[in-house]
Amino acid sequence: MAERISMLGKPLRLGLAARIFLGSTLLVVTVLGASLGITALSATRTADAAIERALTGTRRAIANLLATRTRTLAEMSAVSAGVPQFREGLNASRERADILHQAQEYRDLIGAAWVLVTNEAGILLARTDAPDQVDRDLSSGALVAGALSGAQGSGAWLDDVTGRLYQAVATPLAASREAAPQGVLVAAYALDDSTAQAIKQATTSDVVLF
How many helices and strands in the chain, by DSSP H and E? 6, 5
- Domain ranges in the chain are 58-197
* pTM for this prediction: 0.68
Residue 174's H or E segment, with its range, is none
Q: Angle 96-110/16-81 helices, nearest 10 degrees?
A: 140
183, 120 Cβ separation under 8 angstroms: yes
For the stretch 91-105, pLDDT in tens is 888 999 999 999 999
- Top CATH class of 58-197 equals alpha beta
- Of 200, 73, 196, 79, residue with least CA distance to 143: 73
For the stretch 8-55, pLDDT in tens is 555 556 566 666 666 667 666 676 666 667 777 777 777 777 667 666
C-alpha span between 92 and 36 (Å, rounded)? 75
